[in-house]
Amino acid sequence: MHILIIGAAGMLGRKITAAILAEPTIGGRTVTALSLVDLMAPQAPDWPAGRVSAKAADLGGSAAPAELIEDRPDVIIHLAAVVSADAELHFDKGYRVNVDGTRALLEAVRHAGDAYHPRLVFASSLAVFGPPFPNRIPDDFAPAPRTSYGTQKVIAELLINDYSRKGMIDGVSLRLPTISIRPGKPNAAASGFFSGIIREPLIGQPAALPVPDTTRHWHASPRSAAGFFLHAAGMDTASLGHRRALNMPGLSATVAEQIEALRAVAGQSAIDLIRPAPDPLVADIVGGWGGDYEASRARALGFTTEGSFEDIIRVHIEDELGGALPAPAAH
């Protein structure tokens, strides 16, 4: 089985790659080849059990998609995107990559010949939804995006539904929760603090909290998110019918519940590193996001995630911190 990952150099792409190398079986079939693609060629990992290729391509470029599928990968994992803030700032760039790039990929598959109808797993986002929200957002809640990014993701979902309905491709769109705890350095994303208030204190660093601790949000670990893609790559899509976009499961937690989970795992000294630093702009952006989703359809289809925020923290400690908290520095 041959897997192509477009957008392989990003955090999620690297997690999915690592998960495949660790357990190269998808839907009962053995993975024997892995093609990694990003704007700059990803680092090709050493993999004695199979073939790995890595190359650079811009999905928004004209010839790229046809070349990417020359080897007829069985599964295409499509993560390439201009992200939220960038797409809001650069209108043309967002549409070029997030809409035209996805459509070019679908067209390349459609015209590939050889009765080639691969599984496509597309990284969509819960940013397809906009307020007003009910307390718990049902699976059939109507998309009403508040950003160009969310708009572009719904359009891509609609294209994938239509090409799938026509039998041109076998697509699944995964509307992802916020990935917590995002590894690496703090970043400028409005959602960054949801990870920062846990990640920084765990390594003895201070973290700013820009919103009230009553703020509720929807989280899944990087490990769960990678799992969503591998599950979707191997699942039976017959039961999806014509509705191939799925709200992924997650964990609904308020910031106060996140902080209590941090206390349970790392003690009061970690909590003391969180400094309230109210930021009305961030609070306003975050207030436009849903905090709790039913995701019952995805759960029934076998998608799974963490059951508590403590579990999310433990996943981070296992996957990013070598399984244990660093010893506290002497004072």
Smaller CB distance to its own copies: residue 150 or 291? 150
Smaller CB distance to its own copies: residue 13 or 150? 150
Site of tokens 């994992």: 77
Give the x/- contact pattern for its own copies in 196-235, rule: CB under 8 A: ----------------------------------------
Q: In whole angstroms, how close is the CB of 106 to its own copies at the nearest point?
A: 11
Residue of 286, 185, 303, 290 lying closest to 233 (CA atoms): 303
Q: How far is 84 from 178, CA to CA, in rounded Å? A: 12
Smaller CB distance to its own copies: residue 173 or 195? 173
Q: In whole angstroms, how close is the CB of 291 to its own copies at the nearest point?
A: 19
- Residue 293 annotated to the active site: no
Q: What per-residue string of b and e applies to 105-136 under the rule 16 or more CB within 10 Å gives b? A: bbebbeebeeebbbbbbbbbbbbbbbeeeeee
Q: Which of residues 145-174 bind its own copies (CB under 8 A)?
A: 145-146, 148, 151, 154-155, 158-159, 161-162, 165-166
Q: In whole angstroms, how close is the CB of 79 to its own copies at the nearest point?
A: 22
Smaller CB distance to its own copies: residue 63 or 144? 144
SS3 (DSSP) at 47? coil
Q: How far is 288 from 201, CA to CA, in rounded Å? A: 27
Q: Which of residues 53-92 bind its own copies (CB under 8 A)?
A: 91
Q: In whole angstroms, how close is the CB of 246 to its own copies at the nearest point?
A: 13
Q: Is 314 in the site for its own copies (CB under 8 A)?
A: no
Give the x/- contact pattern for its own copies in 259-298, rule: CB under 8 A: ----------------------------------------
Peptide bond into 24 cis (omega under 30): no
262, 316 Cβ separation under 8 angstroms: no
54, 17 Cβ separation under 8 angstroms: no
Q: How many residues does the chain have?
A: 331
Q: Which of residues 238-257 bind its own copies (CB under 8 A)?
A: 242-243
**Of 39-47, 140-148, 259-267, 290-298, which segment contacts its own copies by CB under 8 A?**
140-148
Smaller CB distance to its own copies: residue 157 or 200? 157
H or E element at residue 16: helix 11-22
Give the chain's largest Cα–Cα span.
67
Q: In whole angstroms, how close is the CB of 144 to its own copies at the nearest point?
A: 6
Smaller CB distance to its own copies: residue 129 or 309? 129
Q: How far is 74 from 117, CA to CA, in rounded Å? A: 8
Q: Is 142 in the site for its own copies (CB under 8 A)?
A: yes
Cα Rg of the chain, angstroms: 20
SS3 (DSSP) at 19? helix
From 95, 149, 163, 293, the catalytic residue:
149
Q: In whole angstroms, how close is the CB of 85 to its own copies at the nearest point?
A: 15
Q: How far is 56 from 35, CA to CA, in rounded Å? A: 11
Q: In whole angstroms, how close is the CB of 234 to its own copies at the nearest point?
A: 25
Catalytic residues: 149
Residues that bind its own copies (CB under 8 A): 91, 130, 140-146, 148, 151, 154-155, 158-159, 161-162, 165-166, 242-243
